Amino acid sequence: MQVFSPFNNFLRVYLKPKNNCVLELYKKLNENSAVQYLIGIGSILFISFICFLFIDIIGYHVVALVLLLVVSILAMFFKILPVVIVAVLSALIWTSYLFSRN
């Protein structure tokens, strides 16, 4: 079953055959869901750690926007279930930021 993604059309139309390695990498990423889970959870944890370092400067509202941006970017490339898990994880992380401030 092929998953529709606007990025698939971009890869087919705009990449030349010499850049076929990017297309192959995207296909391998789309086929292996365990890698999607690892990349998604790892990216949310990494970004939340970076936000934790600057929480006093940027505030927890900006942290929410940054985590939403990361989830939105991951949603363009990953399947549904890894994105839902990453979204729940980011909501739990943001809630811990919110309660740690009070």
Domain limits, the chain: 1-31, 33-101
> What are the Cα distances from residue 69, in Å, to 19, 65, 79, 95?
28, 6, 17, 16
> What pLDDT, on the 0 to 100 scale, is given for residue 33?
81
> What pLDDT, on the 0 to 100 scale, is given for residue 34?
87
Q: Is the pTM of this model over 0.75?
A: no
The model's pLDDT over 31-90, given as tens digits with 9 standing for 90+, comes to 778 889 999 999 999 999 999 899 889 988 899 999 999 999 999 988 999 999 999 999
Cβ atoms of 101 and 60 closer than 8 Å: yes
Token pair listed for 10: 């971009």
4 pLDDT more than 70: no
